[in-house]
Structures are given as structure tokens and as C-alpha cells.
């Protein structure tokens, strides 16, 4: 190797003594839906750059949480193009202080700041990571007031709009009993229903039922329990816990019902012939007569299946196809073996028949030779002895 070539090619030597080249850096953007490749995109006369993943594990995990790609993990050899970073995260010039003046010199290749994180992502919700990050993190100091502990939310807490009319504070003290006055007109549509739990008077349930095979199931469910001075609400879609929130008014519960009604449930997939044996080794659950992945999020952006259920469906179909192909191959192999054995048996029978004919011919020849020799010996004797 030439001097300095070890800096260009990183190699790792195994125990057996041969070298293995480390995986090369990718040349296309990791963000789903982005088609930017190395040297393939231009913007305003400038070629878009690809930035590698940070070496620091904490920063790399922050990038992975920001991109949120379920089908593939962010590896150390992945890259992200500059179209997914805000301009304040990209450093394009060298800055020098000469005679008290800041002089900027263009860099040959842009770089990122230490706190850079991809925020311009088309696949994340509007209230998620696409919001601009604060320029500076300010310390929040306690004002000495006593705060009550709340249960940890499984999803982000949404505050009601300021122009909504709230129930007076006196009605909040009633807890769930304030929900008893809600009528069918307060619900999102005619498919919603209100239930009172027989063995728990402090819980009121709002649900949407769907027919899944022979038995109906809860497609959407909202459980409201009394936790004075608030109402503790837990939302489920297709049997999956999607949200937990504490509200302090009946109008907030009504808004939460409309929010859950707007969610699109995951449809799962039907059982197919041969899946009964294949699904034993896979992680799944049965809801409403349909199969769902254990990691199913319950909701989708568009009508259909979530990504986890799609992968599970494909896995089960591949297992069924593999078992069918294996059985077909086994039956084919058995038929071929039987055919080969029959051919071998016919060849052996033909050989035995040919050998039997040869033996009979040899017997006839031997008998003829014996008779001819005996006749010669008798002729060589005197006539008196011949008689």
C-alpha cells in the first residue's frame, strides 16, 4: 500500500489473518420518499450535499427519532441530504476575524453545526418535528408553586382551543357524573354510543362497534374515569392504546371524541388457507376476526393496513408459500424416487431373463458336447466292446 492509503481504506483484520473492508457510505438520502442521490440534484444552481450520520451515539439516536423510519434503522453508513435541514444548521463559509472585521470565505463542501437535526421531513405530522426548533434552550425555573402529579401520557397532550366554551368549575367536581348529561347529539355521529359500566360506577365508556366475522368488536373505545378534579381518558383503536389524557371539562371530552372519530383504524388482514399452521411461530393478535401485528399502532394515515401488519401479512404468505412448495417438492421427489426404483427393477428383470436364456443355451451346448465325445469314444473301441 502507498503511504496514506490506510486513511482511504479502513480495514479490519480478522483472527484468520485476512482483511475485511468496512461497509462503504451510502450515496442516497435515508429519508423515506426522498430520491436525492449523490450528485443528482441541483437547487438554484447549487448541487445538494449529503451529510453523514453523527459519530456520537446520542446525536445519531436523535436523528433516528426525528426521521422515524419503521422499515429500516439509521446506520452509521447512512446519509441525509441538505434539503431536510434548516439553513441555520448548514455552515457554508469559513469565518475569520481580521483587523476586527469578520471575513467569510466559501467552503469547498458545506458542513453541519454540532446541534444540527433534520426537521424538514414530509412524512411526519404537522405538530411533530417539522416545527422550527428554538434558537436557544432557556432554563425553566420553578416559581415555588405546588404542582400535582399526573399520569404519564402515552401520546402528546393536546390543549383545547381558547375560544371553546368550558363547563364551570362547579360541574368539574362531579367528575364522570357530568358526562351522564351528554346526549346522542353531543356524540360525533350515530355510530357512537355511551355505556355505563355495571361494576364500576366511576367509569363511562364511549364506543364504536364494528362487525368482524361472527362477533362484533370495539373499533374505537374511550374510557372516562373520575379522577377529581379531572377526568382521566384512555383511547383505544382496534384494541390498541393510542392516547391517554386528563381533561377538566365535558367540552374537552366532546372534542376528544371528535378527534378519535377522525382517526382511521388499521384494517388488519383476513386469515388465508394454510395460515393456521404458519402463524404459530409469529407474533400476532386476533381482533374482530382479523389478524394484527403485536406492534400494530391501531391507526393509519390512509385507509388500509399499517406498516407492521403489512410486514406480518407478507411474512405469513411467504411461510404458506414455502410450506406448499416444500410439500410439492417432497411429493415430486417421492415420485421421482419411485420412478427410478421401477426403472432399476425392470433393468434387473431384463438382465435376469437374459442370463437365464444364456444358461439354457450353455446347458444345451454342454449336453451336445458330452454326447459327441461319448460317441467318439465308443467308435474308437473294438466292435466287440461296442456291442
Mean pLDDT, the chain, as a whole number?
75
Find cell 441555520 and name the residue: 88
Give the burial class of 186: count Cβ atoms within 10 A of its Cβ; 0-12 exposed, 13-18 middle, 19 or more buried: middle
**Phi and psi angles of residue 5, each rounded to the nearest 5 degrees, phi first:** -70, -20
**pLDDT of 376 strictly over 60:** yes
pLDDT tens figures, 61-107: 888 888 877 778 888 889 998 888 898 899 988 888 888 888 888 88
Respond yes or no on whether the N-terminal peptide bond of residue 229 is cis (omega within 30° of 0). Answer: yes
- The percent of residues in the chain predicted with pLDDT above 90, rounded, is 7
pLDDT value of residue 355: 94
**Phi and psi angles of residue 90, each rounded to the nearest 5 degrees, phi first:** -105, 130
Residue 102's beta-bridge partner residues?
97
Q: What is the mean pLDDT of residues 133-147?
A: 40
Q: Which helix (H) or strand (E) holds 354?
A: helix 307-380
Helix residue spans in 244-292 (DSSP H): 250-261, 275-278
Segments making up each domain of the chain, as ranges: 42-112, 173-263, 266-386
pLDDT value of residue 155: 41
pLDDT tens figures, 112-128: 998 898 988 864 444 33
Q: What is the mean pLDDT of residues 252-259?
A: 88
Cα(241)–Cα(228) distance, rounded to whole angstroms?
Answer: 23
Cα(202)–Cα(254) distance, rounded to whole angstroms?
Answer: 18
pLDDT tens figures, 342-364: 899 999 999 999 999 999 999 99
**pLDDT of 151 strictly over 60:** no
Cα(382)–Cα(122) distance, rounded to whole angstroms?
Answer: 126
Cα(379)–Cα(377) distance, rounded to whole angstroms?
Answer: 5
Q: What angle do CA 154, 160, 161 make, to 5 degrees?
A: 145
**Phi and psi angles of residue 314, each rounded to the nearest 5 degrees, phi first:** -65, -40
In this structure, what DSSP letter does residue 28 have?
B
Asked if residue 208 lies in contact with residue 192, where contact means CB atoms within 8 angstroms, the answer is yes
Asked if residue 179 lies in contact with residue 233, where contact means CB atoms within 8 angstroms, the answer is no
Give the predicted TM-score (pTM) of the model: 0.40
Find cell 397532550 and name the residue: 157
Where does the pLDDT of residue 26 fall: very low under 50, low under 70, confident under 90, or very high at 90 and above? confident
Q: What is the mean pLDDT of residues 8-29?
A: 54
| Alpha-carbon separation of residue 379 from 49, 167, 365, 383, 387 (angstroms) | 118, 145, 21, 8, 11
Amino acid at each position: 500500500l502507498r503511504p496514506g492509503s490506510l486513511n482511504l481504506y479502513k480495514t479490519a483484520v480478522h483472527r484468520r489473518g485476512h482483511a475485511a473492508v468496512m461497509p462503504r457510505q451510502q450515496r442516497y438520502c435515508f429519508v423515506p420518499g426522498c430520491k436525492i442521490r449523490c450528485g443528482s440534484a441541483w437547487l438554484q444552481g447549487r448541487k445538494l450535499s449529503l451529510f453523514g450520520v453523527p459519530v456520537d451515539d446520542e446525536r445519531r439516536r436523535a436523528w433516528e427519532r426525528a426521521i422515524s423510519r419503521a422499515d429500516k434503522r439509521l446506520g452509521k453508513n447512512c446519509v441525509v441530504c441538505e434539503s431536510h435541514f434548516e439553513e441555520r444548521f448548514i455552515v457554508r463559509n469559513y469565518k475569520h476575524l481580521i483587523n476586527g472585521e469578520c471575513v467569510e470565505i466559501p467552503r469547498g463542501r458545506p458542513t453541519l453545526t454540532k446541534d444540527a437535526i433534520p426537521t424538514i421531513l414530509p412524512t411526519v405530522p404537522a405538530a411533530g418535528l417539522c416545527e422550527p426548533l428554538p434558537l436557544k434552550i432557556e432554563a425553566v425555573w420553578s416559581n415555588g408553586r405546588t404542582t400535582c402529579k399526573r399520569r404519564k401520557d402515552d401520546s402528546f397532550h393536546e390543549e383545547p382551543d381558547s375560544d371553546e366554551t368550558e363547563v364551570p368549575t362547579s360541574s368539574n367536581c362531579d367528575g364522570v357524573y357530568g358526562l351522564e348529561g351528554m346526549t346522542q347529539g353531543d356524540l360525533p355521529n350515530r355510530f357512537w354510543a355511551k355505556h355505563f359500566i355495571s361494576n364500576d360506577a366511576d367509569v363511562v365508556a364511549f364506543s364504536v362497534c364494528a362487525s368482524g366475522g361472527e362477533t362484533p368488536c370495539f373499533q374505537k373505545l374511550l374510557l372516562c374515569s373520575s379522577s377529581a378534579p379531572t377526568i382521566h381518558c384512555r383511547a383505544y383503536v382496534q384494541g390498541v392504546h393510542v392516547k391517554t389524557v386528563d381533561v377538566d371539562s365535558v367540552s374537552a371530552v366532546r372534542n376528544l371524541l371528535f378527534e378519535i372519530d377522525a382517526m382511521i383504524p388499521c384494517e388488519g388482514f383476513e386469515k388465508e388457507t394454510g395460515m393456521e399452521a404458519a402463524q404459530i411461530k409469529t407474533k400476532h393478535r386476533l381482533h374482530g376476526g382479523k389478524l394484527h401485528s403485536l406492534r400494530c399502532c391501531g391507526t393509519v394515515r390512509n385507509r388500509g393496513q399499517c406498516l407492521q401488519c403489512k410486514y406480518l401479512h407478507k411474512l405469513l404468505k411467504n411461510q404458506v408459500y414455502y410450506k406448499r412448495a416444500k410439500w410439492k417438492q417432497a411429493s415430486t421427489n417421492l415420485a421421482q424416487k419411485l420412478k427410478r426404483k421401477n426403472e432399476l427393477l425392470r433393468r434387473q428383470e431384463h438382465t435376469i431373463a437374459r442370463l437365464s436364456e444364456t444358461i439354457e443355451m450353455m446347458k444345451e451346448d454342454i449336453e451336445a458336447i458330452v454326447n459327441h465325445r461319448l460317441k467318439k469314444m465308443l467308435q474308437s473301441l473294438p466292435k466287440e466292446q461296442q456291442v
